[in-house]
Amino acid sequence: MCGIVGIYNNGSGLPVTREALKAMNDLIVHRGPDDEGYFTHENVGLAMRRLSIIDLSTGHQPITNEDETLWIVFNGEIYNYQELRERLLARGHKFKTKSDTEVILHLYEEMGEDFPKELRGMFAVAIWDKRKKRLTLARDRMGKKPLYYAATPSCFAFASELRALLAVPGLPRDIDLKAVDSYLTLQYIPSPMSVFKGVRKLEPASTLVFQGGKLETKKYWNLPLGERKLDGTPVEELKERLRAELAEAVKIRLISEVPLGAFLSGGIDSSVIVALMAKASSEPVKTFSIGFKEAEFSELGYARQVAQMYGTKHTEFTVEASMASVLEKLAWHYSEPYADSSALPSYFVSRETRKEVTVALNGDGGDENFGGYIRYQAMKAAGYFTALPNWAKQAALKAMEPFPEKGGAPFNNVWRLRKFLQAVSQRDLSMTYLSTVSFFKSDEKERLLSPAFRNALGRDANFPERYIGGLFAEAQGSLTEKLMYTDLRSYLPECLMTKMDIASMANSLETRSPLLDHKVVEFAHLLPDNMKLRGFTGTKWILKEAFKDMLPRKIYSRGKMGFGIPLGPWFRGELRDYWADRCLSRKALGRGYFREEELRRLWDEHQRGARDHGYRLWALLMLELWHGQFAPDFKL
């Protein structure tokens, strides 16, 4: 696991210096504290920081082929590299190391830019082809490993994190207001956008070729859209296949030359992963859990049951409001506005886990693959309300106005019902979905954003609607399939994978996700809908059924909780002054994004308990903290 950077001065033709690469590389030292490496040749340079996991003695990067015409830097893990290595040896390739990095390089020799199709794992790769003067970048299918790039008249540059890319001299830092607007809706900035107009993200499952001053990106993988579902397959056969697929995905992720453990939340997904790890391991599994003082937000009791069942070496940690003192540090690590509040506990569980292990498995991907989100059930129920006239829906929303939400989102039933009614009032299913995941909906942004912001957006004002609508249109099949496809293409890579990569790598911890093995994902996509959602209460049915004998009964039968934090009470308590001092300061208000009276209304409603705006307040806070570090003097 590493961080990678590179510069190709194609426009200027100037030589790339080690000093220029080091300026970028030093900003991602947390991604790889064990080693660093550099390659420069004329106007091209590659560099990396290494967190040593496999082939500790000879895995130093950059790595070259036999005649030094190809050079590679690589961030990630390839789980089928030994199988690929044997194939390549049989075809006459010679290896100097035992690393997965060198396997990728020889695979490129065989397949050119199609090489990612053979890789099973998580990766961000850069290969310089000296003969063809061609730079090839690639990113894994599910978007586990990030890769930013920028093309200017003088150079092309790339980096694992945006902050490192900003070290390139002359890189424009014009803020993309379309990206900020998308952030306010979605809590993240979707690729290929970044917060800066001049910087892009390579999308998941994509390659990028830069040659002769021209840039081309293309997709090399997608979910098996249109393929025949496994409808006629007996249920027991599907369960057995799921158990086999996931057991293999766990087993190949236990390859490591350094200590290894697992995050254990107490939910179905991480509990299944720990159960399979325990079955495959000769030593007790090391498990790590995070919780809160506020009991309704904490799953520590459930995690403890799984730890006891499998005799794991278990560590627990409790997050409190006072620990939000690391928020400015988090804003620095994420490098662009990012508003998933579970980044805070993810950072702390990664920090505590890293004290004992270097690699941790997790349960990411279970909800998107097997239908675990409450919004999937809500969307099914929404069908019964669409026939109601719009005036009736609006009347129901109006009738709820006097009811307070002081109990806190997402556990307050008034908050949930209000969100549901807002969703079913939308014009089509894609907008119903968007309403369920939005922080600020279109009408709410209309009130919040200043006239100057709205005018500057122009035709980009409805980008989040077009983004989600496009994914819905691209998806095929039933409503359930459309929902999960949309999440797998948007929320999972752009929000959840971003959260976990940055939170873990900030602590020099590698995380692995068996449920996001692309073979598991493809199999799950072919399962019939009723294997995932049953009625309006049964979520992840087949996953629970396949592994129920390996889980405590309370884990098997419990509902979805989610990984939220107590934002409502925190912003009325310990974080009250912290938020007001930053988001209502003259400097923040002077940026010109928002109407001051609307900001104060949100703040007042939250303080009175009339509405729980915790998630929105968090998004506004993280936006301002980002500005303080990356664009302190910005004004519209």
Contact predicate 526/542, CB 8 Å: no
**Domain-located, residue 572:** no
pLDDT in the model for residue 563: 57
| Measured distance CA(606)–CA(620) in Å, rounded | 14
Does the pLDDT value for residue 408 go beyond 90? no
Kindly state whether residues 298 and 165 are assigned to the same domain. no
pLDDT in the model for residue 415: 59
Kindly state whether residues 84 and 158 are assigned to the same domain. yes
Q: Is 92 exposed, middle or buried (0-12, 13-18, 19+ CB in 10 A)?
A: exposed
pLDDT in the model for residue 477: 86
Q: Which of 248-252, 489-493, 605-609 comes out lowest in average pLDDT?
A: 605-609
Nearest to 162, CA basis, from 146, 145, 177? 146
Q: What are phi and psi of 444, to 5 degrees?
A: -70, -40
Cis omega before residue 192 (within 30°)? yes
**Domain-located, residue 578:** no
pLDDT in the model for residue 153: 93
Kindly state whether residues 31 and 149 are assigned to the same domain. yes
Length of the chain as a residue count: 636
Q: What are phi and psi of 560, to 5 degrees?
A: -70, 135
198: CB partners within 8 A, 6+ apart: 150, 152, 171, 172, 173, 174
Does the pLDDT value for residue 451 go beyond 60? yes
**Domain-located, residue 127:** yes
pLDDT in the model for residue 490: 97
493 secondary structure, DSSP code? I
Residue 407 pLDDT class (50, 70, 90 cuts): low
| Measured distance CA(144)–CA(471) in Å, rounded | 20
316: left (phi over 0), alpha (psi -120 to 50) or beta: beta
| Measured distance CA(253)–CA(281) in Å, rounded | 12
pLDDT in the model for residue 300: 81
Does the pLDDT value for residue 184 go beyond 60? yes
Query: Average pLDDT, stretch 466-475?
Result: 94
Contact predicate 344/575, CB 8 Å: no
DSSP SS3 for 534:
strand
Residue 186 pLDDT class (50, 70, 90 cuts): very high
Cis omega before residue 62 (within 30°)? yes
Contact predicate 146/495, CB 8 Å: no
| Measured distance CA(614)–CA(620) in Å, rounded | 10
**Domain-located, residue 69:** yes
Q: Two tokens at 381?
A: 């129920």
pLDDT in the model for residue 426: 60
Catalytic residue among 2, 155, 495, 583: 2
Catalytic residue flag (residue 2): yes
**Domain-located, residue 587:** no
* 360 strand-pairing partners: 261, 511
Residue 232 pLDDT class (50, 70, 90 cuts): confident
Kindly state whether residues 337 and 445 are assigned to the same domain. yes
Amino acid, res. 554: K
Query: Average pLDDT, stretch 486-507?
Result: 96
| Measured distance CA(244)–CA(249) in Å, rounded | 9
311: left (phi over 0), alpha (psi -120 to 50) or beta: left
Counted domains in the chain: 2
DSSP line for 540-558: SHHHHHHHGGGS-HHHHH-
220 secondary structure, DSSP code? -
Kindly state whether residues 261 and 370 are assigned to the same domain. yes
Query: Average pLDDT, stretch 431-445?
Result: 89
pLDDT in the model for residue 219: 97
Q: Which of 281-290, 341-350, 547-556, 609-618 comes out lowest in average pLDDT?
A: 547-556
Q: Is 219 exposed, middle or buried (0-12, 13-18, 19+ CB in 10 A)?
A: exposed
pLDDT in the model for residue 332: 96
Kindly state whether residues 243 and 199 are assigned to the same domain. no
Kindly state whether residues 300 and 208 are assigned to the same domain. no
**Structural domain of 70:** 2-219
Query: Average pLDDT, stretch 590-616?
Result: 94
Kindly state whether residues 289 and 416 are assigned to the same domain. yes
Does the pLDDT value for residue 557 go beyond 70? no
Does the pLDDT value for residue 434 go beyond 60? yes
Kindly state whether residues 115 and 195 are assigned to the same domain. yes
- Give the chain's end-to-end CA distance (angstroms, integer): 39
Nearest to 123, CA basis, from 87, 78, 168, 79? 78
Does the pLDDT value for residue 411 go beyond 60? no
Query: Average pLDDT, stretch 607-615?
Result: 90
Matching residue, tokens 């005018």: 455
Kindly state whether residues 490 and 366 are assigned to the same domain. yes
Which whole-number Å values give the CA distances from 634 to 456, 480, 588, 624, in the listed order?
14, 42, 9, 11
Does the pLDDT value for residue 350 go beyond 70? yes
Does the pLDDT value for residue 399 go beyond 70? no
Query: Average pLDDT, stretch 267-292?
Result: 93
Residue 40 pLDDT class (50, 70, 90 cuts): very high
Does the pLDDT value for residue 421 go beyond 80? no
328 secondary structure, DSSP code? H
pLDDT in the model for residue 207: 98
More confident site: 531 or 412 = 531
Does the pLDDT value for residue 455 go beyond 70? yes
More confident site: 420 or 184 = 184
pLDDT in the model for residue 392: 58
Matching residue, tokens 């000296």: 130
Q: Two tokens at 594?
A: 């928002």
Does the pLDDT value for residue 55 go beyond 80? no
Contact predicate 202/213, CB 8 Å: no
At 329, which CATH number? 3.40.50.620
Query: Average pLDDT, stretch 584-599?
Result: 96
Does the pLDDT value for residue 398 go beyond 70? no
The domain boundary residue, chosen from 504, 539, 564: 564
Cα-based torsion angle of the residue sequence 119, 122, 128, 133 in order, rounded to the nearest 10 degrees: 70
Kindly state whether residues 205 and 125 are assigned to the same domain. yes
2-20 pLDDT, tens per residue? 899 999 999 999 999 999 9
At 198, which CATH number? 3.60.20.10
Residue 401 pLDDT class (50, 70, 90 cuts): low
**Domain-located, residue 419:** yes
pLDDT in the model for residue 278: 95
The domain boundary residue, chosen from 187, 219, 251: 219
Contact predicate 308/372, CB 8 Å: no
Q: Two tokens at 69?
A: 């015409």
Residue 290 pLDDT class (50, 70, 90 cuts): confident
| Measured distance CA(85)–CA(46) in Å, rounded | 24
**Domain-located, residue 620:** no
pLDDT in the model for residue 396: 56
pLDDT in the model for residue 514: 98
378-387 pLDDT, tens per residue? 777 766 666 6
**Domain-located, residue 630:** no
Which whole-number Å values give the CA distances from 59 to 40, 90, 246, 482, in the listed order?
19, 22, 29, 42
Q: Which of 191-205, 251-265, 403-417 comes out lowest in average pLDDT?
A: 403-417
Kindly state whether residues 189 and 250 are assigned to the same domain. no
The domain boundary residue, chosen from 185, 219, 253: 219
